Amino acid sequence: MPTPDDRRSVVGDVDFPPTSGTVTGWFGLLLVAVGVYVVVVETSGLATVRGVLVLLVVAVLVHAYLLRPRVSIAADALVLVNPLSTVHVPLQRVRYVTVRSVTKVSTEERAYTGVGVGRTMRQMVRPSAEGVVPTPGAWGGRFLGGNGIGVPGGSSTPKSTETADLLEDTVARAVLQVRDARAGQEAPAVRREWALLDVVPAAVLVVALVVTLAL
């Protein structure tokens, strides 16, 4: 059993594919590249500079909001990569996980949201003889309080190959593995990192654009 000083990962790293935004994001960056070419060829002087700056701001926003978001498990933490920040939630602290339009993870202190993996409304409901009913797990999620795992409305085995289902099931198992391996150890604190590689360039580009508009 790991000691308090032994923080080697108990579970392996898992990267859940984003459920939306990837194709749109890359298409958006392609359009930005075409736009930059057109602006450079068709304009001159300050108009060119302003046009390129606007398009570069758009490119940074496209990357931040469509290409950057994702959810993964790394170093025994659930990693929620969002447009402006990344939140590392230690698996020992996870008490509830559910995937609806976004991924929601709750600890005893508060809830955290990850926009990288979600369900469409069509995925959250399915037709039946009685009408439209919730897909098992789509609204129930996984309750991980106490010493066991509760799976409202279904079993604890994977139900499908959908990313949302796999995320709920994989996180549930990972949480229990980490709790067993580190029983009696204090859980690390939740950690947030700001997306400086997106925020700083966007701020610099906006400032530069404002300067050119003032000239």
Mean pLDDT of the chain: 83
The answer to whether position 189 is within a domain reads: no
Q: What percent of the chain is predicted at pLDDT more than 70?
A: 79
Helix (H) or strand (E) holding 111: strand 111-114
> What pLDDT, on a 0 to 100 scale, did the predictor assign at position 122?
78
- In order, the DSSP letters of 162-215 are -HHHHHHHHHHHHHHHHHHHTTTSPPPPPEEEE-HHHHHHHHHHHHHHHHHHH-
Instruction: Say if residue 91 is in the same domain as residue 51.
Output: no
Using 50, 70 and 90 to split pLDDT, how confident is the model at 112? Answer: very high
Q: Which is more confidently placed, 158 or 103? A: 103
Tokens read off for 15: 């990267």
The answer to whether position 173 is within a domain reads: yes
The answer to whether position 190 is within a domain reads: no
Instruction: Say if residue 90 is in the same domain as residue 61.
Output: no
Instruction: Say if residue 128 is in the same domain as residue 57.
Output: no
Using 50, 70 and 90 to split pLDDT, how confident is the model at 123? Answer: confident
> What pLDDT, on a 0 to 100 scale, did the predictor assign at position 12?
87
For the segment 68-90, the average pLDDT, to the nearest whole number, is 96
Instruction: Say if residue 172 is in the same domain as residue 79.
Output: yes
Helix (H) or strand (E) holding 51: helix 46-62
pTM: 0.81
The answer to whether position 9 is within a domain reads: no
Instruction: Say if residue 168 is in the same domain as residue 206.
Output: no
> What pLDDT, on a 0 to 100 scale, did the predictor assign at position 58?
97
Residues 9, 158: Cα–Cα separation, whole Å: 23
Neighbour-count burial for 79-118, b at 16+ CB within 10 Å, e otherwise: bbbbbeebbbbbbbbbbebbbeebbbbbbeeeebebbbbb
Indicate if the pLDDT at residue 1 is higher than 90: no
Instruction: Say if residue 138 is in the same domain as residue 164.
Output: yes
Instruction: Say if residue 175 is in the same domain as residue 202.
Output: no
**CB distance 111 to 156 below 8 Å:** no
Look up tokens 């933490």; give the residue. 77
The answer to whether position 144 is within a domain reads: yes
Rg (CA), the chain: 22
Instruction: Say if residue 49 is in the same domain as residue 121.
Output: no
Indicate if the pLDDT at residue 155 is higher than 50: no
Q: What percent of the chain is predicted at pLDDT more than 90?
A: 67
Instruction: Say if residue 58 is in the same domain as residue 127.
Output: no
Give the domain range for residue 57: 22-67+195-214
The answer to whether position 8 is within a domain reads: no
Instruction: Say if residue 129 is in the same domain as residue 176.
Output: yes
Distances (CA, A) of 45 to 40, 42, 215: 10, 11, 12
- Strand bridging mode 103-106 / 111-114: antiparallel
Instruction: Say if residue 37 is in the same domain as residue 111.
Output: no
Total domains in the chain come to 2
Using 50, 70 and 90 to split pLDDT, how confident is the model at 2? Answer: very low
> What pLDDT, on a 0 to 100 scale, did the predictor assign at position 215?
85
Indicate if the pLDDT at residue 34 is higher than 70: yes
Indicate if the pLDDT at residue 206 is higher than 90: yes
Residues 33, 73: Cα–Cα separation, whole Å: 33
Instruction: Say if residue 79 is in the same domain as residue 180.
Output: yes
The answer to whether position 5 is within a domain reads: no
Indicate if the pLDDT at residue 146 is higher than 60: no
> What pLDDT, on a 0 to 100 scale, did the predictor assign at position 138?
41
